[in-house]
Amino acid sequence: METLDVDAIRKDFPILKRKMNGKRLVYLDSAATSQKPIQVIKTICDYYKEQNANIHRGLYQLSADATERYVDSKRRLAKFINASEMQEIVYVRNATEAINLVAYAWGAQNVQKGDRILLTELEHHSNIVPWMELARRKGAVLEYAKMDDKVAHVDMGDFMEKIEKRPKIVAFAHMSNVLGTINNVKEMTKAAHKNGATVLVDGAQSAPHMKVDVREIDCDFFALSGHKMLAPMGIGALYGKRQILEDMEPFLTGGDMIKSVHYHSYEKNELPWKFEAGTPNVEGGLAFTAAIDYLEGLGMDKVRQHEKEVTKYAIEELGKVKGVKIYGPGMEEIERRGGVVSFSVDKVHPHDVSQILGEEGIAIRAGHHCAMPLVTERLGEAALSRFSFYIYNKSDEVDKAIRALKKVRRIFRV
């Protein structure tokens, strides 16, 4: 029996009924963004048809209701990632903005000239460039823990060595969007704390696909994007431990993040509003709740199990195609590998692979996957092709993609 009833799930995703070039859409690019179930789409439509009002302002019923539901959506997300309270959930546009918030606001107060900032060689640009900018502003030193090539995991020996140099902040992905590597974030956080560092976990690829418990990880910050986990674009979250958020100065300023304003001073609002200047993405928050309801209805353990099965099948089948090289942890590491599989096909450029698969109605990502240092400098590839899976993918879609890859080989005579 299947772990998830994928046929039933697919019925909730209107876009999956679409045909591309006369062929049924096979969507294998959920690491870039997930598709949205009708429950989420309906929440957005209903909001504008029946509930739209600005929050925290009106004393009338419509505004009070919108405010209450928006606050409730934070409670829901707090529970989903096991934060202590909704005050620890700051809504932002996406994981990138969450990381920038920390690099600017926390970085301004806590990083000085000569301090170290530790990342890993596996990071997405969003977890590199904000720290690079912070290092430039402050004269801090940016370091990267190496990847162990044999296993495509962070080299823990190197990580420990660099941690002992007592960096101010350590930031790493929970799961790599290129290699699928799932880091041992609990162990990394513990080692960082032992050496006095603050820890940010980039959860853009983990929160959509597995049970996340920020208190068990014990990280100080956790960044995520709603659009990768069934919610719409433009809503994401920063989790931060309450005391750390209390001690931080605001990132953006203006309306809503204040308690009172005078001509020459202002009083900051309470958490989490201190970090949410201006009118927020209210429908995004409400739709995020619908997305979490949907995922929890399936059960995050089942989501993870289903993706493990599809990933395992994809690695097995891809491995049988002549000329295909798969990147990332091997099959024996499936427990520490998520549902993304990057690969190359002989000397065929991944853009050609993606285009030919596209003609067959199969959507895959090709390029540097917003991780240029990893893909081009570390793996030595100009680009890679990538399958990434979610709750609505089935093994027969992997079969279709593999058949199309064989066509690629025939066209390019490799």
Residues that bind ligand PLP (CB under 6 A): 94-96, 124, 126-127, 173, 177, 202, 204-205, 225, 370
Give whichever of 6 and 292 is closer to ligand PLP, judged by the CB atom. Answer: 292
Options 4, 370, 374, 408, the catalytic residue: 370
Alpha helices in 106-170 (DSSP H): 107-110, 129-138, 156-163
Rounded to a whole number of angstroms, the minimum distance from the CB of residue 94 to ligand PLP is: 3
Please check whether residue 374 is in contact with residue 122, taking contact to mean a CB–CB distance below 8 angstroms. yes
Strands (E), 193-295: 198-202, 221-225, 236-240, 258-261, 266-268
Give whichever of 31 and 353 is closer to ligand PLP, judged by the CB atom. Answer: 31
Which sign, positive or negative, has the C-alpha torsion 16, 19, 21, 23? positive
CA distance 263 to 259: 14
CA distance 370 to 343: 16
CA distance 239 to 250: 15
Rounded to a whole number of angstroms, the minimum distance from the CB of residue 49 to ligand PLP is: 27
Amino acid at 90: V
Say if residue 250 is preceded by a cis peptide, omega within 30 of 0: no
Rounded to a whole number of angstroms, the minimum distance from the CB of residue 260 to ligand PLP is: 33
DSSP line for 17-84: G-EETTEE-EE-BTTT-----HHHHHHHHHIIIII---TTT--SHHHHHHHHHHHHHHHHHHHHTT-S
Give whichever of 37 and 232 is closer to ligand PLP, judged by the CB atom. Answer: 232
Please check whether residue 89 is in contact with residue 77, taking contact to mean a CB–CB distance below 8 angstroms. yes
Rounded to a whole number of angstroms, the minimum distance from the CB of residue 126 to ligand PLP is: 4
Rounded to a whole number of angstroms, the minimum distance from the CB of residue 124 to ligand PLP is: 4
CA distance 178 to 198: 25
In sequence order, what are the residues at sequence separation of 6 or more whose Cβ sits closer than 8 angstroms to the Cβ of residue 264? none
Give whichever of 177 and 393 is closer to ligand PLP, judged by the CB atom. Answer: 177
CA distance 363 to 342: 14
Taking phi over 0 as left and psi of -120 to 50 as alpha, with beta for the rest, 354 belongs to: alpha
Rounded to a whole number of angstroms, the minimum distance from the CB of residue 119 to ligand PLP is: 12
370 is catalytic: yes
Q: Which residues are catalytic?
A: 370
